[in-house]
Amino acid sequence: MEFNVQQLERTNLYQLLVGCVLPRPIAWVSTQDVKGVCNLAPFSFFNVMSVTPPLLGFSILKQASERDKDTLANIRLTGELVVNIVSQPLAEAMNITCGSYPADVDEFELAGLAKSQSVTVKPPGVADAPVRLECTLHQCLTFGHGTGAGNLVLAEVRHIYVADQVWKNGAIDDVGLQAIGKLGGDRYSKAEPAFSLARP
């Protein structure tokens, strides 16, 4: 198959792109608004962008409504966020938090998730997440206009929590971590079975 992207409908282009680039790691991002209302939502257009400085990047797409997603609005206002890593036992709770809820809804409460106080930023993390990365906003780059336009959030990591049970021999144990990845449609991947390749 060959695709001329200029002739594709936006929805088809979206499905094709997320079907090509996979599995995608998931940033489960917690933020707070200025009144202290907590927000939690997953983003799979996500990865490590730089080590010095330590930057994570994830993209928040513009939705059909004029309103910015709560995560973007909160990050722009407060400059603080926590990226929680989603282990398989948390998958269903994560899925609950992706709904389009009003800004005053606390998705932690909605999904029955306990909060953990952060060390360096105000937004709490997901207490049961095996890894939490506390971050401050470094830069937000905006691409395009209208539905599907991207807002690439570059977030500087200030503090990292790794649960004892996934810390093995001085490194994160990827099997114990049980991180899930996003595929196309409603599908997800598991981290196993993993294999090793020595670099040349």
Ligand X SMILES: Cc1cc2nc3c(=O)[nH]c(=O)nc-3n(C[C@H](O)[C@H](O)[C@H](O)COP(=O)(O)O)c2cc1C
Q: Are 165 and 130 in contact (CB under 8 A)?
A: yes
Report which of 79, 171, 96 is spatially closest to residue 131, judged by C-alpha positions: 171
Q: Are 147 and 63 in contact (CB under 8 A)?
A: yes
Output 132 or 182, the one with its CB closest to ligand X.
182
Output 157 or 180, the one with its CB closest to ligand X.
180
Output 69 or 138, the one with its CB closest to ligand X.
69
CA distances from 18 to 44, 163, 188 (A): 9, 30, 12
| Nearest approach, Cβ of residue 26 and ligand X (Å) | 5
| Nearest approach, Cβ of residue 59 and ligand X (Å) | 6
| Nearest approach, Cβ of residue 137 and ligand X (Å) | 15
- Amino acid in position 57: G
Output 59 or 178, the one with its CB closest to ligand X.
59
Chain centroid to Cα 194, Å, comes to: 22
Output 2 or 14, the one with its CB closest to ligand X.
14
| Nearest approach, Cβ of residue 45 and ligand X (Å) | 4
| Nearest approach, Cβ of residue 150 and ligand X (Å) | 8
Output 147 or 165, the one with its CB closest to ligand X.
147
Q: Which residues would be at the binding site for ligand X (CB under 6 A)?
A: 26, 39, 41-45, 59-61, 69-71, 95, 98-100, 182
DSSP helix/strand/coil, 20 = helix
Report which of 126, 60, 64, 48 is spatially closest to residue 94, judged by C-alpha positions: 126
| Nearest approach, Cβ of residue 79 and ligand X (Å) | 16
Q: Which residues contact 31 (CB under 8 A, 6 or more apart)?
A: 38, 39, 40, 70, 71, 74, 75, 78, 80, 81, 82, 123
